[in-house]
Amino acid sequence: MIDEAQQESIETPDRQDIKAELLKAVKDLPPMPKVLFKIQKLLIDPNSDAKQIAGYIETDQALAAKVLRMANSPFYGMTGKVSSVQHAAVILGFKTLGELTMLAGFSDLMGKKLPGYGYNSDELWRHSLAVALASRIIAEKINPELSNEALTAGLIHDMGKVILDPYVLDRREAFDVFVENENQTFLIAEKHVLGFDHAEIASEICLKWKFPDSLALAIKYHHNPSRSNGNEMAFILHLADYIAVLSGSGYGYDEILDVREEGTEEFLSIHQQDMKKIENLILESIFKIEAELTM
């Protein structure tokens, strides 16, 4: 069996080419939708308010329509009562409107089919949504200041898969042979075949989209937070990923996500009974939100 240190030392010419191509693909990625970028900034600015968020939402008609539909969904308990984005700002308030907008905005980016990974069109999105909700709940429990950022981190933590997918599709056989013969995870196979795993690529996307460095680091280590130098968000994402899988929002076979690093719960002071509660909460939330976002 090849261990991870050996992975890094195997640098074939083909892999060097792929690595360069992947970095270019990240570089060529369009910027984060402007309105989401602005709203993300407002969400961590203590001087901003819901009306400002509403103002930005109104600049993007498709987003505004989606936000309104969600605001009227059973999840937010306002069925049929919210008539405009400004109205939503008054009824829902700063935090909820911001959260709902990030969910609405990222649902398009993450709703793609990924044939390389074998995901249907809503599979990446459903998993990302579950991890986002679980991350926010964990953050609220242990460090409420991180809760908005935790939601975004959860939404984009696996976005590297969107970039890697066509490369995986072209080399699917090499992946399957490696996973089978070496008895390794798909995550390790990404690194072995392509030179980068999806967490590293997602972290590059964060940097390109000018997210804080600490968030890029958290995403880079969401599968192995013990290497993150104590980055709280990396541990939050790691546990949220695990809870999402427990709740049935995993991917099936390509990541061994039912394994979590030892010491994760201890680091976050989250207990077994908390995990069960979070699992139930996200199940309930996903059920209510999903219908509105996949329409």
Binding footprint of Fe ion on the chain (CB under 5 A): 158, 241
- Find the shortest distance in angstroms from Cβ 65 to Fe ion: 29
- Find the shortest distance in angstroms from Cβ 222 to Fe ion: 6
- Find the shortest distance in angstroms from Cβ 165 to Fe ion: 13
- Find the shortest distance in angstroms from Cβ 130 to Fe ion: 9
In 3-state terms, what secondary structure has residue 82? Answer: coil
Q: Which residue, 56 or 125, is less far from Fe ion as judged by CB? A: 125
Q: Which residue, 165 or 241, is less far from Fe ion as judged by CB? A: 241
What angle (nearest 5°) sits at the alpha carbon of residue 271, between those of residues 268 and 274? 105
- Rounded to an integer, what is the distance from CA 258 to the centroid of its chain? 17
Q: Which residue, 38 or 223, is less far from Fe ion as judged by CB? A: 223
**Helices then strands (H, E): number in the chain?**
16, 0
- Rounded to an integer, what is the distance from CA 173 to the centroid of its chain? 27
Q: Which residue, 99 or 241, is less far from Fe ion as judged by CB? A: 241
- Find the shortest distance in angstroms from Cβ 190 to Fe ion: 10
Q: Which residue, 186 or 209, is less far from Fe ion as judged by CB? A: 186
- Rounded to an integer, what is the distance from CA 101 to the centroid of its chain? 15
- Find the shortest distance in angstroms from Cβ 40 to Fe ion: 20
Q: Measure the CA–CA gap between 253 and 1, rounded to whole angstroms.
A: 20
> What's the maximum distance between 2 C-alpha atoms anywhere in the chain?
60
- Find the shortest distance in angstroms from Cβ 142 to Fe ion: 20
Cβ-contact 231, 214 below 8 angstroms: yes
Q: Measure the CA–CA gap between 250 and 42, rounded to whole angstroms.
A: 31
Which value, to the nearest 10 degrees, does the dihedral of the CA atoms of residues 134, 269, 218, 259 take?
Answer: -70
Q: Which residues pair with 114 in a beta bridge?
A: 119
For residue 154, the 8-state DSSP code is H
Q: Which residue, 157 or 171, is less far from Fe ion as judged by CB? A: 157
- Find the shortest distance in angstroms from Cβ 83 to Fe ion: 37
Phi-psi label, residue 262: left if phi above 0, alpha if psi -120 to 50, beta otherwise: beta
Q: Measure the CA–CA gap between 182 and 259, rounded to whole angstroms.
A: 18
Q: Which residue, 96 or 224, is less far from Fe ion as judged by CB? A: 224
**Amino acid (one-letter) located at 144:** P
Q: Which residue, 66 or 191, is less far from Fe ion as judged by CB? A: 191
Cβ-contact 241, 222 below 8 angstroms: yes
